[in-house]
Structure 1
Amino acid sequence: MSLFRIVGSLSVASAIGSTISILLLPLITRLYSVEQFSDYGFAMAVVSVISVISVGRMDQAIISGKENEVGPAATLGLILLAIVTGLCLTLLPLFINTGMALIIALNIASVGLFQIAYGIEFKADRIKLCSAFTFLRIGLIPMSQIATYQLLDNPTLIYSIFIYSILLGSISFLTVIKNLKKCSRQKIIELLTYAKGYSLHGVLNSTSHNIPYFILEMLGAKVILGYYTVIDRLCKAPLLLFSGYIRQYFLKEFSKTMQVEKGKIASKYSIYLFCTAVVGFVLLLLLPESLFSIALGKGWVDIAHYLPQLAIAFVFIFMNPPLLAYFVSKGDFYIIVKCQFIEIFAKGFFVMGYLFLFQDDYSFIILSMVSSIILYNILLLRKTVTDKGR
């Protein structure tokens, strides 16, 4: 199936789910306070970091591997997920309150099941089913948030994660359980070797993206964290999912492509995606600031000030999928990890610089994330261009 058919099908599902999220966002921001969104954002940031390694990247091993590796990879991914979830249930209550720890652990389990299930269906070219999964993953978020408000006497936004996790995990488990197979010792070693290389990059990448959550939480900047959560979780999430589908497509295609051609293809499509994202960014800038306060409510008046800052980062994130798929298909995790380390150190440097220059104006922490993301993706593109002839 061609790139345009696959991405088109998945993007339609993503667009429908995102449209539901956007249409319901004005209602949700009136049901819950900015402070509740900050707690929700912090919890989801913890989930984002841990869920990267929860299945040992076996979802990507399923997609990029051979047909006979699907069952063993799914089985090993499920075992790793059980171990990670158990560790979360044991260790997280030492640092955060027990209720939040239980909800986070449950969400990690459900996201891990979804990753394995989606990888299985994508490998089998069941794109319509993948589209349904895509819609559910995005669309269930606002529906669970509204359901929480209706069902509980004292509703808190973070409780919506519990309902969401139960629904997503149950649906995903039905797919995973049908594809489990015994895994030989040799196959386990091979898959764990893959997981070791890919998981390190995943943890670094996710940690880097979520550093603003942890810093703003430590600084007690609840209002800015609430704004950041709405933009990042409810607006950016569809974009990241969409770029994730593109990366999965290229992972699958690069497993069939000659080595010399991979770099050329990755570089070309990366530039195409970048140009597409620039058009979207320009359209965003044309929207009047008053539109956001009217849509979200009086408590969210200043959110429009932060949206353009993050949108610049989204432009560069959008060019990332073919580049990452290129290095993963080569097994060249060293380049990815090296660029990621540079990004994290740059982000730390930028954060300290902005705090020193602007002191109590924590909004500039967002600029630190934007600056480092731009640097990371430019480094990856440069490495791909210089490496494409090898």
Structure 2
Amino acid sequence: MKLLFTANRFPYPPYRGDKLKIYHLAKRLAKRHELHLVTFLQDKKDLRYLPELQQIFTEIHLVPLPRMASYCNSLMALFRREPFQVRYFSSAAMQKQIETLQAQHRYDAVHVQHLRMAQYWAGIKEVPRILDLPDAYSLYWKRRVAAKKGIMKWFTQTEQQRVFAYEQVLEDYDLSLVCSREDQAYLREERGISNVQLLPNGVDLATFSQQAHDYTHAKHILFTGNMDYAPNVDAVGYFVRDIFPLIREQVPGVRFIIAGQRPVKKVLELAGPDIEVTGFVKDLSAMYRKASIVVAPLRFGAGTQNKVLEAMAMGVPVVSRNIGFNGLDISSGEGVILALETEVFAGACIRLLGSEQLRRDTGEQGRAVIRSRFDWDVVAATLEGYFRQVQRH
């Protein structure tokens, strides 16, 4: 097949989020298909990574989108109805580039990444199109409203209402994909959008290897993620303020490590004698190897969490709230222990830190789940099946 990927961000380096997913899916599909890429270029420094992407994509088309233009787009959204994030990625040049590519090539199918990019292919019916979403975006914003106050609550409510209305664009696509059954059920049952299937997030098992984890150490609690991402910022603040003191009372010498790029001031201020904020970490697998447990105390968000999948792949036991757990379609204890309340969350961490056997049993169950369902090879094969499905329609 000849496939076009339409991405909202330059998909390299593949450390987190949008970039990671596109890179790993395309890397595997390129072995059997001809892939083209069209994406925005917001930072000219990314051009140094072109050779990496040229190993995957036969053609790469970059559309400049200066950040100042995006900020102006967002400002103009005050006078329009589209979500601010959709307006942020609005570009006449991108629309023109897509029309040019459509005229030049006979694509078997098009992969459109994120609700932000849905604006470019929604009205083009001549080619099969798949809209790939990280989560049910209106569900994410609905949960975020509850965590905000003051002027930020007003903005969050406004964006949630706009996303809620705009999300109907999913029905303009041949197929829409989300990464968890929770998101799929929400879109089908609460939104009445029927053309939604599952494409889980994955893990690169070449990076997050299957070597045996060392379960003898019991003093390191790890949290990973982009530390300018609102759900992560809220999660570590909540953990340090409400949960970690309860653990410290029962586990002397315990340390909490916050590992992730672009930590904002709120996160940096959490650092202390037993709390480390690392900033960017090139090799996260090394951090997981040192971890006794991983925590995911996210109070809002949607979809599945890479931090949870990566820890499971490394055999590290995880304690999680429902965000980061519900999307996995597993039972509590299969790599991840579900804990919804503050005291329950702390208690689960204390039990794991106090028992090498419990850490081993939980971690090894998680490793088995990842091998069978969340390896990027398995996920890419699922996406390949969806491409063939939309071609037949």
TM over 0.5: same fold? no
Whichever structure has more strand as a proportion of its residues is 2
For CA contacts below 8 A with separation 6 or more, give which structure has more relative contact order. Answer: 1
- TM-score, with structure 2 as normaliser: 0.29
